C-alpha cells in the first residue's frame, strides 16, 4: 500500500479537501477503511476542538492543556492530536506529575501534610496541589508547591488567587480547571493563569467527518 499525503498533521483543511491518496489492493483498503476512518475522524476532531481553544487564548499568555480523560487505548494518539491542534499535554499518567486533591488532603490530615508526604515519598516527581480558595493557594506555596490547580473558581476568585500568589514573589505555575467553556475561556485566561486544562478536548470533541472514496477510473 502506497500513501501520498496532501496535508500534514496540524494543517487547516476544509470540506472537499483531499487529505491523502492510497494506492494498492482494493480489498485491503476496504477491509481497513472503517478502522482507519474512525481513528482519523476521532483524532482530527480532537485537534480541531483544541485549535478553537488555542485561537481563543491567543495573545493572553495562557495555554490550553489536556487531561488524562482519554479514550482507553488511544491516549497517545489523542494527546498527539492535542499538540497538532496547538494545545499542550499536561501528563501522560500518574507517574509524571503527582496531584494532591481533596481526598488526599483529608486522608493525610491537611493540605501541608499531604504535600510533605508526597514530596518525601517521591522527591523527584513534580507535585501539583489542587486548591479552591486563595487561602489554600497561599498555604500550598508556603508548603513548597510550585504548581497549583485552581479548581472551580469564578474569574473573580481566580484573579484574586493569582494576584496573591504572584505577590509572594515565588515562581509558581497556575492552572485553571473546572467548568471551563470556550465562551468564558478568554476571561479566565486574562486573570493571569498560565494554563487552562480542558478534559473535553479528549472526552467530548465531535469527530471530523472524513470519507474514503474509490477513484471510479481505477475501480
pTM to 2 decimals? 0.91
- 146 CB neighbour count, 10 Å cutoff: 14
CATH number, span 45-203: 3.20.20.70
For residue 58, what pLDDT is reported?
A: 97
Is 79 considered catalytic here?
Answer: no
Confidence label for 95 from pLDDT (cuts 50, 70 and 90):
confident
Is 130 considered catalytic here?
Answer: yes
What is the DSSP pairing of strand 2-5 with strand 20-23? antiparallel
Confidence label for 179 from pLDDT (cuts 50, 70 and 90):
confident
**Tens of pLDDT along 98-108?**
999 999 999 99
Which residues are CB-neighbours of 42 under 8 A, at least 6 positions away? Answer: 71, 74, 77, 78, 205, 207
Q: What are phi and psi of 16, to 5 degrees?
A: 95, -10
For residue 146, what pLDDT is reported?
A: 96
For residue 219, what pLDDT is reported?
A: 58
Averaged pLDDT for residues 186-192: 97
Distances (CA, A) of 161 to 5, 27, 67, 141, 151: 48, 60, 22, 11, 11
Is 15 considered catalytic here?
Answer: no
- Domain limits, the chain: 45-203
For residue 178, what pLDDT is reported?
A: 93
Which residues are CB-neighbours of 59 under 8 A, at least 6 positions away? Answer: none
| Catalytic residue, candidates 9, 11, 34, 166 | 34
Is 90 considered catalytic here?
Answer: no
**Tens of pLDDT along 106-126?**
999 999 999 999 999 999 999
CA angle centred on 89, ends 85 and 92, rounded to 5°: 135
Amino acid at each position: 500500500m502506497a500513501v501520498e499525503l496532501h496535508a500534514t498533521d496540524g494543517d487547516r483543511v476544509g470540506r472537499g479537501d483531499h487529505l491523502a491518496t492510497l494506492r494498492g489492493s482494493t480489498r485491503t483498503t476496504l477491509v481497513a477503511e472503517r478502522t482507519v476512518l474512525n481513528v482519523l475522524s476521532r483524532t482530527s476532531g480532537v485537534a480541531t476542538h483544541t485549535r478553537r481553544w488555542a485561537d481563543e487564548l491567543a495573545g493572553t499568555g495562557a495555554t490550553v492543556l489536556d487531561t488524562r480523560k482519554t479514550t482507553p487505548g488511544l491516549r497517545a494518539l489523542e494527546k498527539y492530536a492535542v499538540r497538532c491542534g496547538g494545545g499542550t499535554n499536561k501528563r501522560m499518567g500518574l507517574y509524571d506529575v503527582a496531584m494532591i486533591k481533596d481526598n488526599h488532603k483529608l486522608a493525610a490530615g491537611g493540605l501541608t501534610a499531604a504535600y510533605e508526604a508526597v514530596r518525601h515519598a517521591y522527591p523527584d516527581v513534580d507535585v501539583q496541589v489542587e486548591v479552591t480558595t486563595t487561602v489554600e493557594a497561599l498555604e500550598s506555596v508556603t508548603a513548597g508547591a510550585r504548581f497549583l490547580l485552581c479548581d472551580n473558581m469564578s474569574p473573580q476568585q481566580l484573579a484574586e488567587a493569582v494576584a496573591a500568589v504572584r505577590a509572594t514573589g515565588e515562581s509558581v505555575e497556575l492552572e485553571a480547571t473546572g467548568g471551563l467553556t470556550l465562551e468564558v475561556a478568554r476571561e479566565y485566561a486574562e486573570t493571569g493563569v498560565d494554563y487552562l486544562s480542558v478534559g473535553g478536548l479528549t472526552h467530548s470533541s465531535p469527530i471530523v467527518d472524513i470519507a474514503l472514496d474509490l477513484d471510479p477510473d481505477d475501480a
